[in-house]
Structure 1
Amino acid sequence: MSTQASPPDRTAQYAELLGVALDAARRAGALLRDGRPADLGVAATKSSQVDVVTEMDIAAEKLITDHIARLRPDDGLLGEEGASRAGSSGVRWVIDPLDGTVNYLYGLPSWSVSIAAELDGEVVVGVVEAPMRGETYQAVLGGGALVNGVQARRRPAPELAQALVGTGFGYVAERRAAQAEVVRALLPQVRDIRRAGSAAIDLVDVGCGRLDAYYERGLNPWDLAAGDLFAREAGALTGGRPGERASGDLTVAAPAGLFEPLQQCLEELGAWHD
């Protein structure tokens, strides 16, 4: 858990933002779980023909953004499926309405709704809703991380050779080939690799102790904002290349003692470039 305490004048504001995020994420999660059409298909593609958007991604983002706009009309928005609005309040919502779209398209359970609130550019609230797990993950800057209301606990740091490490891959062929080479070199140095298909779930799983570590290249702000805060508030470290914050170049999450050797290994393997 983070040792940074929220200033007294921020406590009520954080609580309000958390309430909005929880309500929006639960509504969107219910829509996605209960409203999935039997004939669900691809509505559009993005970076490549295998990077897909479904009608439910779009519907969930509209539900979330409409909900936020109704309650907090002066806030900014940044959403994966195109929602973008400058605000005047200092708050910006960073939204992935369906993280793990390919899993959802195929009927696999590892997908989630991810909503984070930034205040003056810093993420202060994060919620990841995983309906098929029946779990809600929430974090507040300086206030810890909870899973269904229970304090999250990351695992003690193992040696790198004993670490179960999550990762993910991009959708452009050249990047995937480079990422495969990193995995090929890393796999003999760790316990095993897992690839779940939702960055938000991977990050909260580090915070919950279901993974020892996670890394990925190519994440967008909406992929990592909420999960990154959750992992940190659960006691893990997060970052990118040595000395840098988690970003699209590289995101790494692990407890202290494992974070450093994994980060250095990924640096040497060139996990931060294609």
Structure 2
Amino acid sequence: MTSTPPAPDLPDDVTVEELQRLCVRFATEAARFIRDERPERVGVAATKSSETDVVTVMDRRSEELLHRLIQQARPDDGILGEEGADVAGTSGLTWVVDPIDGTVNYLYEVPAYAVSVAVVVGDAHSQGGWVPVAGAVADPSLRLVHHAGRGRGAWTGPEDPASGDDPVRLSVSGEDRLARTLLATGFGYDPQVRARQAEVLLRVLPLVRDIRRIGSAALDLVRVAEGSVDAYAETGLNAWDLAAGWLIVLEAGGVVLGAGEGEASSPGKALTVAAGPALAPEVRRLFVATGDAAG
């Protein structure tokens, strides 16, 4: 079992520190935008995978803002985003962005949504073909930004650095027993996928302390990194859902696993599990025991 991909090579013109700083700036600016410029009534621009999977007007405007910021700072880098306006790059770096993670929460004014920005090396379109090198998850409701750079630890700090509050270093829970585990999870939008996920939870729920469903994969991963939940497991995640959170968990001392071996050991659609090193394999076994990870 491996959870930490090998350290990637970066272009000569950039450092992890600089990329981390840019992730924080871009995620924070987009978070302020979706909070401060939110209209009284948020329009639904389209649906994605199903009628319950919405794209808001603010999703698109936030992604346009992120594209503009990235291209101004790093014009040769690629961009992969949830709303599909991808940009091919030539530098070997790709920015993986989710302009609003937790769109349904945002639509209903439930204060559990985020902006996720990460920069990765490799083919961000392929399972197991990429690794994150820097990332940030900005929480507009709490005015916090969670961030990490490879080899630089994971941190939570105020949205406004001038607030006087120092960043706090994150560390995953030390819990190692399933029966005492507070497990975060999420559900897909396709009705058949939801039905399978419900069947899995019927088996899992009696084996853990309790389950939380927050509605934002990025914030779930942050909660693992800060130890406010012990573990997280979900099927159906895309690169933009997990890129920044994956690195934040790793840099907080955690483990992030996929459903299988080789390329499938990387987190992704089949399964994403995040927890402390002692707990992660146990949680993973819960979700792959009978092929249930194929959500």
State the TM-score, normalized to the length of structure 1.
Answer: 0.95
Letter aligned with residue 147 of structure 2 = Q
Contact map agreement 1:238 1:252 (CA 8 A) in 2: yes
Counterparts of 1:11 and 1:3, CA distance in 2: 22
Task: Give the root-mean-square deviation of aligned CA atoms.
Answer: 1.9
CA positional deviation for 1:136? 0.7
Is 2:152 the partner of 1:134? Answer: no
Is 2:269 the partner of 1:248? Answer: yes
Counterparts of 1:81 and 1:193, CA distance in 2: 29
Counterparts of 1:181 and 1:142, CA distance in 2: 39
Contact map agreement 1:117 1:123 (CA 8 A) in 2: yes
CA positional deviation for 1:173? 0.3
The verdict on how the C-alpha distance between 1:11 and 1:37 changes in structure 2, with shifts beyond 3 A counting, is: same
Counterparts of 1:9 and 1:29, CA distance in 2: 28
Query: In the alignment, which of 16, 19, 38 is matched to residue 17 of structure 1?
Result: 19
User: After TM superposition, which residue ranges in structure 1, 4 or more long, deviate above 3 angstroms?
Assistant: 2-12
Is 2:227 the partner of 1:209? Answer: yes
Is 2:62 the partner of 1:50? Answer: no
Is 2:131 the partner of 1:122? Answer: yes
CA positional deviation for 1:269? 4.2
Residue of structure 1 equivalent to 2:82: 80
Uncovered stretches (5+) of structure 2, i.e. residues with no partner: 123-129, 158-166
Residue of structure 1 equivalent to 2:155: 146
Query: In the alignment, which of 204, 229, 251 is matched to residue 186 of structure 1?
Result: 204
* Deviation digits for residues 60-83 of structure 1 (CA, Å, limit 9, x no counterpart): 000001011011110000000112
Residue of structure 1 equivalent to 2:245: 227
Contact map agreement 2:258 2:267 (CA 8 A) in 1: yes
Is 2:256 the partner of 1:238? Answer: yes
The verdict on how the C-alpha distance between 1:93 and 1:12 changes in structure 2, with shifts beyond 3 A counting, is: closer
* Deviation digits for residues 97-133 of structure 1 (CA, Å, limit 9, x no counterpart): 0000000000000000000001343210010000112
Uncovered stretches (5+) of structure 1, i.e. residues with no partner: none
Is 2:248 the partner of 1:263? Answer: no
Letter aligned with residue 236 of structure 1 = G
The verdict on how the C-alpha distance between 1:72 and 1:11 changes in structure 2, with shifts beyond 3 A counting, is: closer
CA positional deviation for 1:266? 1.1
State the TM-score, normalized to the length of structure 2.
Answer: 0.88
CA positional deviation for 1:12? 5.3
Letter aligned with residue 145 of structure 2 = T
Counterparts of 2:245 and 2:39, CA distance in 1: 28
Counterparts of 1:5 and 1:53, CA distance in 2: 35
Residue of structure 1 equivalent to 2:187: 169
CA positional deviation for 1:11? 10
The verdict on how the C-alpha distance between 1:227 and 1:3 changes in structure 2, with shifts beyond 3 A counting, is: closer
Counterparts of 1:3 and 1:159, CA distance in 2: 26
CA positional deviation for 1:236? 0.8
Residue of structure 2 equivalent to 1:36: 38
CA positional deviation for 1:180? 0.5
The verdict on how the C-alpha distance between 1:88 and 1:258 changes in structure 2, with shifts beyond 3 A counting, is: same
Counterparts of 2:50 and 2:67, CA distance in 1: 26
The verdict on how the C-alpha distance between 1:114 and 1:8 changes in structure 2, with shifts beyond 3 A counting, is: closer
* TM alignment of 1:91-102, pairs within 5 A: 91-102=93-104
Contact map agreement 2:11 2:92 (CA 8 A) in 1: no
Of 25-34 and 14-23, more deviation after overlay is shown by 14-23
Counterparts of 2:259 and 2:10, CA distance in 1: 34
Question: Percent identity between the aligned chains?
Answer: 45
Counterparts of 1:263 and 1:119, CA distance in 2: 26
CA positional deviation for 1:234? 0.3
Contact map agreement 2:80 2:94 (CA 8 A) in 1: yes
